[in-house]
Chain A
């Protein structure tokens, strides 16, 4: 039912692409990260909560058809529906059904509830197209429920030692998850403009997050003991100067590896991801009850081989366009 083409995952029967990277007429977009939601599509089909993000990032004049989770539309006989992927606000798995055959394209997903986005729901299917960002057994993440208190303790400790705290987290998704779990009594919370912009867009659909935007007028004294959330691109930029003295941490699944943290030259690395870890990927694949699995985005080769040899599935690796930069997790 689906083909892996130069432009993206394509459904010929419905004449629709899923997360294409080149301009096409009809695109289903799983979520708002820039390696999935690209510019130049004739029409976008996405979840209702993804729509404001697309408008923020791709322009207010794009044509969007919004869909609720579980609601079915039909295109040339193909029944298409979106289901929660638990990755970020509005993120969806795409279910396609044609003549009794069901395919699910996962997009990016995680199984652990982050307290912000609609929790992941498994969808039974014959063929499952899964991401594999963290598809190696070394990526088994600690419970976020253990990580957030660690972040809060670190913030409190920094504040007591006269340091501001900078958390680097992707502006869309992880920033909101973190903001939701901060201990507000510890001190003031400030935001990099990129994070504040996303928050404003999300306010339009009813979300509220703590934090004040840092502007040229922001008084340095007000930042004393504060926690600042900024995108990873701020690392090493002059923008950070205003925040000193500070200690800085990166929040990412990649922080699972010591080498990755040391290479970034940050004080701390918190293992916090909006992707599923090894356990979750395996759990998700099993829950779909799919017999055929296409593995994309990440460690395709080892994860597909693992599913084939150790789980007895028909698993194939699919190399989509160069995926060396995955936005959701740096």
Chain B
């Protein structure tokens, strides 16, 4: 950990944060926010949080940026500047921010120093997981073993939250009632290179490799950074790439709305189903070690590793389907006809 690198990256992050708030163009704000996320990703790699960095690179920098661009495309790109008025809300916002900042700064004297190995968070609970992960689960990546096994119940509901978010987006945007709708202006074209042959060819050649990489990330999440969430988002992003370079039809011919909701369901069901199989075999919910009774040639320890792989696959399927659903609805104003 080199604090000079840390500090310079953090300074750039603050500059990007200011720029993305202040810029008067939503497309620019989205792109600067993407840069902000990539800098965050750099910072977390530097702090040793490789799994978080991987997630941020695929989710924060990749999918979030696309969602912001889709919104700017479907609404308006300009942020109107206000000459007068708005003073009151600016004062209120500034006061609230300063008060909160002062309270947080006052609390900071009691915090342990940055990267202190003797800080309370590193002394009591976490050594157990660091030292026991190989003995208990045979998974060297302790982030995966905590995520999918020690804390599997929580992750199951996180997956359900993602699924619910997809359903909420459909519920908000898919109500096509004519009375409900202003005359939407024709969305303007963001780039003229939209029908470019080179872009289409290259992205079409890239998609199989992206998907192969995503499957590797899911399957190898036990031994290296990665796992179901990251792999699922990369899989979804490969489909989004197709939808951007071609059109929405090509995406929907492959994964239509019915299928993507069904896949989201299946993903959550795989997760909960593995938990119920454990229950049926006589152990606790999501206690994978009992799975060695039905998995051939595994002991109780390896069975936990395999059980984690099973739920990671479920998570990946659910996340992929929901990322596609959210993008398709946002980019087409819920009409699913044409996208970016």
Do chains A and B stick together as partners?
no
Chain A residues proximal to chain B, CB less than 8 Å: none
Chain B residues proximal to chain A, CB less than 8 Å: none
